Structure 1
Amino acid sequence: MPDLAAISHAVDLAAFANWLAARALAALAAHDKALHAALIEVAEALPAGAPNMAKLDALLKKVREINAEAYADMLRELEANLRAFISYEADYRRRLLAAIAKAEVMEASPERIKAALRDEPFQGRLLREWAQTLGQATAQRLRDTVAIGFAEGKTTAEIVRAVRGTRAGKYQDGILQIDRRHAEAVVRTSVQHFANYAAQETYRQNRGVVKALRWVSTLDSRTSEICMLRDGLKFSLAGKGIGHDVAFLGGPPAHWNCRSTLVPVTAFDDDRGQRAAAGGPVPKKTTYADWIKAQPASVQRSVLGATRARLMREGKLDLTRFYDNRGRWLTLDELRDSDEATFKRLGL
């Protein structure tokens, strides 16, 4: 049961990350009109030919300010939603553990959960540092695009087009999109990071119930070698391998866009190397395809879409690859409702 609940929750976390990524990108896009207008002012104020870089930097002051405010707004949007998410996730992990152990369990330290956004880095940096890094990278790209454009004799319209993208490319081919794609990766990875941070904090508070952690990876053709190697392996609460010497790496996320999670191993678990699934135990290497096929039609439609779900049931859809379905969004309230439905379905 823990593994099945973990996979279901991980799928919903991906949908929550989709929603949060859209909110973050919308915060950035809200400044696009002002940014484009400021760039036009810069372009029209520069003489033809290679620009004087000192003068260019002075003219770009307003552009830098608008760009910095855009990323500050993105950070505020992320912090507000992630703060609520971390609190919910810690409570979800507590309730899941209580359901598995059929016992009262302790909640994670409220102080540590509250401080997570401020103090816990992922992929080497804190959330606010990633926002700052992305903003600085965008500012540098804008400067380089204007400088190179004028050196090459491009018109103002051509320079602005290089920044915002083309209509034919659905405005996805401009330089602004480079760091926005990076921003999406930051959002998705941050959701996984804080989810697993909340999990580990909860499990550490319940050492009398949790005897180990098991790494559970989404098993499909997109699974990284890092996560394939660790899938199913057990680690102590301190991150030491149990029966192996594979590094814990601090737990998931082990890389950008990682989809792995941690499941508590309790005294109530069956250690015979199988994963629980609807209809009975199955071999430990249960895949995402196995999981989705075992779900009710309503869940299949929600994850795959109505057409794909029908084709899958008819045996006409290849599920050897994971359908991330980035068009599926879940707000935090919807994530909470979906988790409650999973608990009821599994009898937890």
Structure 2
Amino acid sequence: MSIDKRLAELFTDANIEALRFAAGQQMVTEQEVRRLMARLERLLKNADLFHASDVEFLIKEATKLINQGYKEISAEQVMQMRGFAPLAASGAVESVNAAVGISLLNRPRKLGLDVSKLLIDGAPSADWWAGQAYSVQKRFARVVRSGFVRGLTTEKIAQALVGKLQDEDALPGEGMQEIALRDARSLVHTSIQTVASASRREAFRQNADIVIGIRQISTLDSHTTLQCQARDQKEWSIEWDDDGTMIATPVDHKIPYLNGVPVHWGCRSVETSVLKPLTINGVTLPSFRTSKRASADGPVDSSLTFEQWLETKDEAYQNESLGKGRAELWRAGKITLSDLLDLRGNPLTLEQLREKYA
């Protein structure tokens, strides 16, 4: 198998690990959001709402709980991402070294990035968590005020926090728990993908004498956005300013690199390295540029989907990636990978990742 095909396969494997780590963090965050909602529900059920002033006092107390809850979630996620970043960088180095068969790239001595300051769509993760806290506050206030005006009991209003009432009792902002869970999952996923890509790029920067470019591999299925479809297999040459800023120039196309992967919220794409021409053991290995996607059986058309690629793996790998039960359903044709976008079957922990890359 050629180096470019092996690189594509190994970086895809690494991206699956990042998605599985994100899945584990999503589960942790979901538990915290549910605990917060349970506290808000108890606060509401124990409240005596006889006057509008009682409602406003309740909302102030709930706001304190919400702000504290999301601050704790934000701090926990930053801590997890700090632990994940060097492992993602090491994974990129190991992928390249495994592809060429020698220790070509060096592991980063120290990552020159602060994960808490990495921008996700123009803002650090802490700002996004604060924004989610604000959204929950506003929905809580809408539910409580609307329920009070309609004369509903606190028990009834509390039901609207975690679910939906009958049509005749429907309240603005109801079902806020599911909205909060969805928003949290999305932020965790995109945050970890941002850290993974930034850490891999940092590994490339510290090996700039060998890594001269970046190529995007997109997961091609019915959920892939037009942006990632257009960027799939595209390559950018890279250089670095004195301050460590990466300058990316399109190669044989006009699509700007912008901030790279993740290209958008929920992005599942991954970037692989482009190596300069090398001579190893007397054999010259040219810098790769290809329109072919990696597969276990040799070159195939670049339209090969992730699902088709996974079919080339053995059952043990499929079970490990998807979880045995889900993998069995997938092999039986009862579900597709579009039903398993975040690979929540068998999530990974930092400790499991450390065993492989630390």
Aligned to 2:249: 240
User: Which shows bigger deviation, 96-105 or 183-192?
Assistant: 96-105
Structure 1 counterpart of 2:263, one-letter code: A
> What's the secondary structure of 2:123's corresponding residue?
coil
1:63 and 1:240, CA in 2 relative to 1: closer, same or farther beyond 3 A?
Answer: same
Distance, in Å, in 2 between the alignment partners of 1:133 and 1:284 is 39
Residues 291-345 of structure 1 deviation map (CA, whole Å, 9 limit, x = unaligned): 111112101223344466457667x5675846334333121233456779xxxxx
> What's the secondary structure of 1:241's corresponding residue?
strand
Q: How does 1:30-109 map to 2 (within 5 A)?
A: 30-42=35-47, 44-47=48-51, 51=52, 56-101=55-100, 102-108=102-108
Structure 2 counterpart of 1:139, one-letter code: Q
Structure 1 counterpart of 2:221, one-letter code: D
Structure 1 counterpart of 2:231, one-letter code: R
Aligned to 1:274: 292
Distance, in Å, in 2 between the alignment partners of 1:308 and 1:182 is 24
User: Which shows bigger deviation, 278-287 or 198-207?
Assistant: 278-287
Q: Structure 2: where are the runs of 5+ without partners?
A: 1-5, 167-173, 239-246, 278-284
1:129 and 1:309, CA in 2 relative to 1: closer, same or farther beyond 3 A?
Answer: closer
CA contact (8 A) 2:274 2:288 kept: no
Aligned to 2:158: 160
Shift of 1:138: 0.5
Shift of 1:108: 3.9
Distance, in Å, in 2 between the alignment partners of 1:175 and 1:86 is 32
Per residue, is there more strand in 1 or in 2? Answer: 2
Q: How does 1:195-344 map to 2 (within 5 A)?
A: 195-237=196-238, 238-266=247-275, 267=277, 268=285, 269-306=287-324, 309=327, 316=333, 321=338, 323-324=340-341, 325-335=343-353
1:307 and 1:39, CA in 2 relative to 1: closer, same or farther beyond 3 A?
Answer: closer
CA contact (8 A) 2:33 2:180 kept: no
Distance, in Å, in 1 between the alignment partners of 2:164 and 2:323 is 30
CA contact (8 A) 2:161 2:177 kept: yes
Structure 1 vs Structure 2: percent identity of aligned residues?
Answer: 25
Aligned residues: 327
TM-score, L = length of structure 2: 0.82
Residues 52-106 of structure 1 deviation map (CA, whole Å, 9 limit, x = unaligned): 5xx6333322211111111112112212211100121112112223334534434
Q: How does 1:117-128 map to 2 (within 5 A)?
A: 117=116, 119-128=117-126
1:250 and 1:318, CA in 2 relative to 1: closer, same or farther beyond 3 A?
Answer: same
1:304 and 1:96, CA in 2 relative to 1: closer, same or farther beyond 3 A?
Answer: closer
Structure 2 counterpart of 1:252, one-letter code: V
Distance, in Å, in 2 between the alignment partners of 1:116 and 1:184 is 18
1:111 and 1:10, CA in 2 relative to 1: closer, same or farther beyond 3 A?
Answer: closer
1:256 and 1:311, CA in 2 relative to 1: closer, same or farther beyond 3 A?
Answer: closer
CA contact (8 A) 1:90 1:198 kept: yes
Shift of 1:137: 0.9
> What's the secondary structure of 2:340's corresponding residue?
coil
Residues 208-261 of structure 1 deviation map (CA, whole Å, 9 limit, x = unaligned): 111210011111111111100000000122222111111213001111110011
1:84 and 1:63, CA in 2 relative to 1: closer, same or farther beyond 3 A?
Answer: same
Shift of 1:46: 3.1
Aligned to 2:243: none
